Amino acid sequence: MRFLFLGDMVGKTGRTAVWERLPGLISDFKLDFVVVNGENAAGGFGITEEIFLETINAGADVVTTGNHVWDQKEAVGFAGRHDQFLRPANYPVGTPGRGANLFIARNGARVLVANVMGRVFMHPELDDPFTAGETILASCPLGEQADAVIFDFHAEATSEKQCFGHFVDGRASVVVGTHTHVPTADCQILNGGTAYMSDAGMCGDYDSSLGMDKEEPLNRFISKMPKGRFEAASGPATICGLAVEISDRTGLAEKVAPLRLGPRLAEALPEFWR
């Protein structure tokens, strides 16, 4: 199975780049399943239902989120209406929406996608992500009810992301980190066969501060005083993510590589898709 994960869409420039590039990627490389993190798609803060639907229409099979999931008030209302919209699974019982769901890929595979949020340096502090991950895996094990298992681990601390990867190694197909908006250089296949990357990076303007216009963050670092609001940067976007070939037999990763397409960072396209 050919799987693509795209990191946090930030603002209009980020989401537009995804909408423009994703249909071609799916067609050119015969992708079977695509997950996109959309939690910063609405001006850098949350996601609207319209943006969610546009992302699905562009070819995403699932849209995941994170700590900004409720920044747009309408998300509380639409979260429960769309099976393809995920919020972190370790929110308390009774939270609107769902944190994991089973989907059918274009090749017919059953794909479990789960969205989990870390707790180190993260707000709000949610329930234990390791317990949540264990519960999700127990309810739909790889090789039994699921042919592939994907985790979007939305967290600040790389150590927490890495430990979660080791925790589910051999029981999940992919663990990919989101939230920090900078692509890491550690994509790999762990010892048990799980594809791992600490952070997929963002889909947004990299001439920025994590996708936000750099002037206000810079001002606050220097003066310690706000002059205005954070606004999403509007320059040309680079889309970043993780490409994985998943075994149809075992559900574990066979090949893994970063994907970067755009004007700012060095482009990277998986050799095994060329």
Residue type for position 34: V
| Residue 207: burial class (beta carbons within 10 Å; 0-12, 13-18, 19+) | middle
Contact 237, 203 (CB under 8 A): yes
- Per-residue DSSP letter, 107: T
Find, among 185, 193, 186, the residue nearest to 168 by Cα: 193
The residues annotated with a catalytic role in the active site are 68
- Angle ∠(268,266,208) on CA atoms, nearest 5: 120
- Write the DSSP string, 182-216: S--S--EE-TTS-EEES---EEB-SSSBTTB-SHH
Q: How far apart are CA 104 and CA 109, in angstroms?
A: 6
